[in-house]
Amino acid sequence: MIPGTTVRRQPPVWQTALADAISDPAELLQLLELDPALLPAARAAAALLPLRVPRGFVARMRKGDPADPLLRQVLPVGAETASTPGFGADPLGERQALKAPGLLHKYHGRALLLATGACGIHCRYCFRREFDYAAAGAGHWRQGLDYLANDPSLSEVILSGGDPLTLSNRRLENLLTALADIPHLRRLRIHSRQPIVLPERVDSGLLQLIGDSRFPVVMVLHANHPREIDHAVAAALQKLAGKATLLNQAVLLQGVNDSAAVLASLSELMFSLGVLPYYLHLLDPVRGAAHFRVEAVQAAAIVRALRASLPGYLVPRLACEERGKPGKTLLL
């Protein structure tokens, strides 16, 4: 008899990998052969924002290197518990931009749906690290959909979060179907770090959903350092490149990618996989992330050096977000 004739429904591979992500700082330190003396501070900071990192992402880190640029993005550290003037809980004033539960509308023609509050990885520099997704109605999109349907000036919907690709294909399909029914929407944009941190997420179901959509799909990936891209990520991006326009957005982070050489190799590598650079963001001043700050003057110098070494289309736009402006502020 052929085993498996009684069909047992298995969760997709990526959901198992997501559930198996590392959340205990002690385990992370041990896997990377790091000094256990880092543990008390890691535990204290993890109480503010829990550690979460998929095992496949950890496998791209260097063992024994506490300054590894991938590790630095996810390891909770003591500096997060310090308070720094100007760094607050809601750095962008996003509460005011909530026009319906789970829906932010700040800029002309495009609105952003907080499709979920969950992420596949917890980035220590995240500008929404203290965002109250439940209070903001993330993941409850009925009223957000009504808002989109009632504003014909909107031509683009942006799925964000959290990370919209933590949703199952079934939930995404429901959402995409509802969006496709809104006639004035012309483009769908998905902001996600999942293809980078959990490339298993780019499964055949997702590719089919994107390919079948009536929208031209723009996917904005979030990779900050070239070492985030391993063979599995490269393969996932190449599959996506056939279905969507791929852009990359990075955050300029002290000790991670605050060098023209690192950013140039990120741009070149991403280009070889079908991804063009979009924004290089200055850090948003969120409480607990001040140790990642790169000053605007230094940021401009880095981007000028990039311009001197790369074709214009491989240079990201240096941007930051300011309250009450009609769009992101370009710094250079």
Chain contacts with ligand SF4 (rule: CB under 6 A): 119, 121-123, 126, 128, 162-163, 193, 222
171 vs 328, beta carbon nearer ligand PLP: 328
Residues 6+ apart with CB under 8 A from 170: none
By CB under 6 A, name the one of 110, 128, 129, 239 that touches ligand PLP: 110
Query: For residue 176, what are its two tokens?
Result: 């995409």
Which residue has 């917890």 as its token pair? 122
42 vs 185, beta carbon nearer ligand SF4: 42
110 vs 129, beta carbon nearer ligand PLP: 110
Minimum distance between the CB of residue 122 and ligand SF4, rounded to whole angstroms? Answer: 5
State yes or no: residue 225 binds ligand PLP (CB under 6 A). Answer: no
By CB under 6 A, name the one of 106, 193, 222, 291 that touches ligand PLP: 106
193 vs 287, beta carbon nearer ligand SF4: 193
122 vs 243, beta carbon nearer ligand SF4: 122
The order of strands in the sheet holding 110-114 is 98-100, 103-107, 110-114, 156-160, 187-192, 217-221, 245-251, 275-281, 317-320, 329-330
Sign of the dihedral defined by the CA atoms of residues 307, 313, 317, 318, in that order = negative
Give the Cα separation of 158 and 135 in Å (integer). Answer: 20
Give the Cα separation of 237 and 269 in Å (integer). Answer: 11
Minimum distance between the CB of residue 163 and ligand SF4, rounded to whole angstroms? Answer: 5
| CB environment 36-68: b (16+ within 10 A), e (fewer) | eebbebbeebbeebebbbbebbbebbeeeeeeb
State yes or no: residue 281 binds ligand PLP (CB under 6 A). Answer: no
Residue 89's SS3 state is coil
State yes or no: residue 271 binds ligand PLP (CB under 6 A). Answer: no
Please report, for residues 193, 267, 316, the alpha-carbon distance to residue 275 in angstroms, rounded to integers and kept in the order given: 14, 8, 12
CA-based nearest residue to 249, from 223, 269, 228, 275? 223
Binding mask 141-160 for ligand PLP (x = CB under 6 A): -----------------x--
41 vs 331, beta carbon nearer ligand PLP: 331
State yes or no: residue 128 binds ligand PLP (CB under 6 A). Answer: no
Minimum distance between the CB of residue 149 and ligand PLP, rounded to whole angstroms? Answer: 18
State yes or no: residue 122 binds ligand PLP (CB under 6 A). Answer: no
Minimum distance between the CB of residue 211 and ligand SF4, rounded to whole angstroms? Answer: 24
Query: For residue 9, what are its two tokens?
Result: 């429904």
List residues binding ligand PLP (CB under 6 A): 97, 104, 106-107, 110, 112, 158, 327-328
